[in-house]
Structure 1
Amino acid sequence: MKIAYIYDAVYPWVKGGAEKRIYEIAKRLASRGHEVYWYGIGWWLNDNNSETIEHEGIILHSVCEPMQLYVNGRRSIREAVIFAGKLLPKLIKEDFDVIDCQEFPYFPCFTAKFHSVFKRACLVITWHEIWDKYWFHYLGKKGLFGWVVERLASKLASENIAVSEKTRKDLEKIGVKNVRVIPNGIDFKRVETVKPSEEESDVIFVGRLIKDKNVDVLIKAISLIKMEMPDIRCVIVGDGPEKGKLIKLAKELGVEDNVNFTGFLENYDDVIAYMKSSKVFVLPSTREGFGIVALEANACGLPVITTNYERNAACEFIDGDNGFLCSLSTKEIAENVLVGMKTKEAMRGKCMENAKRYEWDRIVDLAESFYSDLL
């Protein structure tokens, strides 16, 4: 098959859940003999003048030069519009069997639809999450624009992929049919090869430091635990617009010596190493389209504590045997951290068993079968 993926952020130049998913699936499909293309922003142009390069079997096409994806912590509408506008002249040169376009930031989906009709290709839109009414919570009255564009994008493809059961149900609520769940995955074999970091910790968080992640609640929980465990150690891996406030909060609560902010780690193995040297993974997020990082923590043998919240899809695979669900409460998170630390070794087997079910090779089998069925 000749398959095209469309997403502006390209791994490994940009490291996030959606781009990691495309990378892992695309390189495996390429190794199985399929022609795989990825149309994105040319993040590599600073190091390589060629607009088209091959990376691990994937043919990468530069749609436009690098530009800011985020403005004031939010996705740039300007970037999305420019990318969508410059996409068509690049895309129209090729014929594809399947075009898989990630739903966000929406505008490229309309370009992909035009191409699929003009070239008679099968268009699939992969949905990582549905915001629906959350748009109004996020932007107030201005959220109407996002809500309308999302609804319009949901009507473009006759076949859709959801990365979680939650997203599938959300799509059905707004009238989208023919939705196949193909979850995100992890490279379990690679995780197994990584050695633990020399810096040991009791608690770890990994993710972008934005409001929805609620890392402030975790820091407050650490201050509670410190009353019982003065030497409690917490590692926070990641960067983002909330970092300055979080560092200030840690100082105000007197836990600056208990909490280590590593910043963004370029090397994936370094992230896994930090996980392997910790005891409990905490994801206090109230919005997760999937939550790959929670699976990675399970793969490292760590129980996961996350919030039992409507928009948190990570809840789907945390069942009491591999972690705990709780409310977004400082007290509850602190209590569950203490329980998790005591039961880590007993839960280790179940944690790793859960993670193995999401090995990328299994996920690629699902994707390959789905694409084949479309032809």
Structure 2
Amino acid sequence: METLRIAFVYDVVYPWVKGGVEKRIHELARRLAKKHEVHVYGYKLWEGNGEIERDGVFYHGLAPAGRLYILGRRRPLPMLRLAARISRVRDDLRNCDVVDVQNLFYPGALALRGLENALLTWHEFWGNYWLRYWGPLGVFGETAEKALFSFERHAAVSWKTKLDLAEAGLRKPISLVPNGVDAGLIKSIPPAELESDIIFVGRLIPEKGVDLLLRALAEVKREIPDVRAVVVGDGPERGRLERLSARLGLEDSVLFTGFLESRDEVIAIIKASKVFVLPSRREGFGMVALEAMASGLPVVTLNAPMNAARFLVENGRSGFAVGADELGMAVLTLLGDKKLNRKMGAKGKMLARHYEWENVVGVWLASI
């Protein structure tokens, strides 16, 4: 294949911000950069020059981010400023062979409508969920989301999102380009000394459902008094969740670690646990669940309509996708049956191999 000039457009950038979308762009970009010219456009989150190079990838910081969140939600004004800067580099982007635009950066994506070489990557489709998220103002989000249907090329990171788009009326072809996992790296990381029975990893926001996990854990504790759980991550819900933990009598059973800077440390703590629980009410993919599967843990996730992670889990084979009132029983089943736990963990590890990043790069290239 000839050398391509590729650009990724999003607002926040890895490793300065460590979310799923940022991680996806990072993993794709650094692998593609081995053979192609790759650029990443977003906020300037680093010190010094606005344009830097790391691992063969060229990063363009177009605007300062400032405070990213307010009341647990991404601040719109910095995104609008960044979208205005994106509009100014439209001619540079037009000179690329492909521009991979992330739908969750709605102002920037709208600014690039009509760009012939653009590929719009959908991480989630919200539809009328916008009205629950923003109230009456959600109509603007819903309208902006539908406006992105005007892009000519589309990719979805999960089957759920692809189906949602088709049901919403997007009639253009939609490629399925999932997120991935570095199973080799995960295999090389030894388990941490901090052992636990149950682990959650993610941003502490209402959508992640950690409150459901704590209530399920109280149920588990009645059967296993010395049960130990670890909650890895930080966010606006942390204080409320710690108070809920205390009210449920879980102070000695749950450790809130806060945000961990090193991804290797996160993987090590996952590998030192027995069951991974992702009780998300809304999840665009569930990359951390995939990492847990690659680590050999069975996964328990919520069988919620907007939780795409449930598609990663083969219910009853690599874990369980259950209702909120069944989370505790699913965890008890896996903690009480070591043979089943190992069997499901092994199945999950096998399934995770299909999502190796090198394979995803090939699928991405085929989609353009």
TM-score interval (norm. to shorter): over 0.9
Match of 1:367 in 2: 364
Name the counterpart of 2:334: 340
Rounded Cα–Cα distance in structure 2 between residues aligned with 1:112 and 1:136: 25
Structure 1 distance, partners of 2:54, 2:87, is 22
Q: Deviations over 1:2-41 (max 9, x none)?
A: 111101110000000101001101111111x111100011
1:64 partner SS = strand
Work out the number of aligned pairs and report it.
359
How far, CA to CA, are the matches of 1:254 and 1:172 in structure 2?
46
The DSSP-based 3-state class of the residue aligned with 2:276 is: strand
**Alignment partner of 2:124 out of 126, 129, 133:** 129
- Unmatched 5+ stretches in structure 2: none
1:50-61 alignment runs, 5 A limit: 50-61=49-60
Given residue 96 of structure 1, which amino acid in structure 2 is its aligned partner? C
In structure 1, give the amino acid aligned to 2:184. Answer: K
Q: Is the 8 A contact 1:99 1:112 kept in 2?
A: no
Cα distance change of structure 1 residues 271 and 227 upon mapping to structure 2, 3 Å threshold: same
Where 1:208 maps in the other structure, the secondary structure is coil
Partners of 2:342 and 2:159 in 1: CA distance: 29
Residue 299 of structure 2 corresponds to residue 304 of structure 1: yes
2:260 is matched by which residue type in structure 1? L
Structure 2 length normalisation: TM-score? 0.95
After superposition, give the CA deviation of every residue in 1:253-292 in whole Å (9 maximum; x if it has no partner): 1111100000011100111011100000011111111001
Tell me how far 1:151 sits from its aligned partner: 0.8
Hey, what does 1:109 align to over in structure 2? 109
Q: Say whether 1:23 aligns with 2:7.
A: no
> For residues 100 and 28 of structure 1, what CA distance do their matches in structure 2 show?
15
What is the aligned counterpart of 1:325 among 302, 321, 324? 321
* 1:369 aligned counterpart, secondary structure: helix
Question: Which aligned pairs between 1:157-176 and structure 2 lie closer than 5 A?
Answer: 157-176=151-170
Code of the residue aligned with 1:175 in structure 2: it is G
Partner of 2:86: 87
**TM-score normalised per structure 1:** 0.93
Moved more, 67-76 or 293-302: 67-76
Please say which of residues 170-179 and 238-247 is displaced more in the overlay.
Answer: 170-179
Which 5+ residue runs of structure 1 have no aligned equivalent? Answer: none
Aligned-pair identity (%): 44
Amino acid across the alignment from 2:212: V
Partner of 1:42: 44
Where 2:261 maps in the other structure, the secondary structure is coil
2:284 aligns with 289
Contact 1:201/1:279 (8 A) holds in 2: yes
Question: Matched residues in 2 for 1:55 and 1:90: separation?
Answer: 21
